[in-house]
């Protein structure tokens, strides 16, 4: 059996074992907030305080109307947190599952989807902050949330590619999550999250976000939610191409390292 064939059948078996990775992912969230009074609501509270505090200051700093800037910031920050989790947190997906990997014959891809489940719960909880903000400013439109579904699917597919790449490389190179943490910290400040993209365009710095694939992943979700219309067609195209690229890289990395994971732990 070739490496590609084995990887294919392991992935197919992983989908059949959805109850396992779903359970493990939910258990990770429960363990994270065990004995906490608010539980996962801390994600909601943290995001709300960040958006309320930083949003007002940066809104005044950039001369943006608060009723437009707060939902913009809330959505961008929640999505960014999901992207970061799919890269840095996922770097330890196999390391945290060392006991399972060495004792059970489950496909390793189970632990990738386990990470996706827990990261998605964090995304869902954080992004719900937008709803009360929109209701407060009388901007809530359910059509926008429905139109955001294609973008959310693209975002999740990209995150799965991130998780696969990070999990395999993070097992081989233990400094990987630290290096990516530094890189993502820099990208955070040049990605239109805490400031509108039009500010960069106005300064002639449009290439800063136009060459940033994370901008497109954020925009195909944020724009429909805030504007109740689909984002630009080219944004979906660029986001889709990025997903294909991440999956191709993930496949190449998995083919090289999947059989070695147990020896690298």
> How open is the CA angle 151-157-162, to the nearest 5 degrees?
125
What whole-number distance in Å separates Cα of residue 174 and Cα of residue 167?
Answer: 10
Q: Which of 2-16, 48-62, 151-165 has the lowest mean pLDDT?
A: 48-62
Find out whether 116 and 87 touch, Cβ atoms under 8 Å.
no
pLDDT higher than 90, residue 235 = yes
Residue appearing with tokens 């390793």: 108
What whole-number distance in Å separates Cα of residue 165 and Cα of residue 142?
Answer: 35
What whole-number distance in Å separates Cα of residue 11 and Cα of residue 13?
Answer: 5
**Rounded mean pLDDT of 91-115?**
88
% the chain with pLDDT above 70: 98
Token pair, residue 34, equals 């065990």
pLDDT higher than 70, residue 88 = yes
**Rounded mean pLDDT of 100-112?**
88
pLDDT higher than 70, residue 29 = yes
pLDDT at 185 (0 to 100):
87
pLDDT at 265 (0 to 100):
80
pLDDT at 241 (0 to 100):
96
pLDDT at 46 (0 to 100):
76
The secondary structure of 107-164 as a DSSP string is: -THHHHHHHHHHHHHHHHHHHTTHHHHHHHTT---HHHHHHTHHHHHHHHHHHHHHHH
The residue ranking higher by pLDDT, 224 or 204, is 224
pLDDT at 73 (0 to 100):
85
- Residue burial 228-250, b: 16+ Cβ < 10 Å; e: rest: bebbeeebbebbbebbeebbeeb
Q: What is the mean pLDDT of the chain?
A: 86
Number of domains in the chain: 1
The residue ranking higher by pLDDT, 7 or 250, is 250
Q: What is the pLDDT of residues 169-201, one digit of tens each?
A: 999 888 888 899 899 988 888 888 888 888 777
Look up the domain containing 155 and give its range: 3-264
State the pTM of this model. Answer: 0.90
**H helices then E strands: how many in the chain?**
16, 0
> How open is the CA angle 179-207-79, to the nearest 5 degrees?
55
% the chain with pLDDT above 90: 30
- Max CA distance (Å), the chain: 61
pLDDT at 4 (0 to 100):
79
The answer to whether the Cα torsion of 170, 173, 178, 179 is positive or negative is negative
């Amino acid at each position: 059996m070739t490496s590609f064939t084995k990887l294919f059948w392991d992935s197919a078996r992983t989908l059949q074992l959805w109850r396992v990775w779903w359970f493990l992912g939910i258990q990770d969230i429960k363990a994270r907030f065990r004995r906490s009074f608010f539980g996962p609501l801390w994600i909601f509270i943290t995001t709300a305080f960040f958006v309320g505090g930083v949003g007002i200051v940066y809104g005044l700093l950039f001369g943006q109307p608060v009723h437009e800037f707060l939902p913009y910031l809330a959505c961008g920050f929640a999505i960014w947190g999901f992207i970061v989790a799919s890269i840095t947190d996922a770097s330890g997906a196999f390391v945290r599952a060392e006991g399972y990997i060495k004792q059970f014959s489950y496909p390793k891809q189970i632990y990738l989807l386990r990470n996706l489940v827990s990261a998605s719960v964090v995304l869902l909880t954080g992004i719900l902050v937008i709803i009360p903000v929109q209701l407060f400013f009388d901007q809530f439109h359910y059509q926008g949330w429905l139109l955001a579904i294609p973008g959310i699917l693209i975002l999740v597919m990209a995150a799965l590619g991130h998780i696969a790449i990070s999990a395999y490389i993070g097992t081989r190179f233990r400094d990987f999550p630290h290096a990516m943490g530094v890189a993502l910290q820099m990208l955070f400040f040049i990605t239109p999250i805490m400031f509108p993209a039009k500010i960069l365009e106005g300064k002639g710095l449009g290439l800063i976000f136009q060459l940033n694939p994370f901008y497109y992943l954020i925009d195909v979700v944020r724009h429909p939610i805030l504007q109740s219309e689909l984002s630009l067609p080219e944004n979906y195209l660029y986001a889709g191409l990025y997903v294909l690229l991440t999956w191709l890289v993930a496949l190449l990395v998995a083919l090289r390292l999947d059989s070695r994971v147990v020896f690298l732990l």
